[in-house]
Amino acid sequence: AQTVTQSQPEMSVQEAETVTLSCTYDTSESDYYLFWYKQPPSRQMILVIRQEAYKQQNATENRFSVNFQKAAKSFSLKISDSQLGDAAMYFCAYRSEFNSNYQLIWGAGTKLIIKP
């Protein structure tokens, strides 16, 4: 069975600085998707970025980018120019290409604190 591990329960960063959140996963599959979701205090889970395993190029979305290392099974999220609005829980998630129920496997989350 696949597992997702986020080893940092909490991270803090100074506003305008860069922070990297770690995620590792375990799978024997070659085709899958990886996601980072953000959950602010308002509680709605929001998709930040996604990566298809077959793509070598790292995904980017404005200030958010990932470092996808398929061989190492690592999928870290880099947030550049951190803003107060980035404060949230961040969850890493995995989805198999072959799972017919589209189930996401979730990490435990990392709480990101932005210091003004």
Q: Write out the residues near other proteins by the rule CB under 8 A.
A: 4, 9, 35, 42-47, 50, 91, 93, 100-104, 106-109
Nearer CB in complex with other proteins: 58/104: 104
Nearer CB in complex with other proteins: 56/101: 101
Burial of residue 79 (CB within 10 Å: 0-12, 13-18, 19+) is: buried
Q: What is the 3-state secondary structure (H, E, C) of 32-74?
A: EEEEEEEECCCCCCEEEEEEECCCCCCCEECCEEEEEECCCCE
Nearer CB in complex with other proteins: 70/95: 95
Nearer CB in complex with other proteins: 14/54: 54
> CB 39 → other proteins: shortest distance, Å?
9
Q: Which residues pair with 78 in a beta bridge?
A: 20, 65
> CB 19 → other proteins: shortest distance, Å?
20
> CB 95 → other proteins: shortest distance, Å?
8
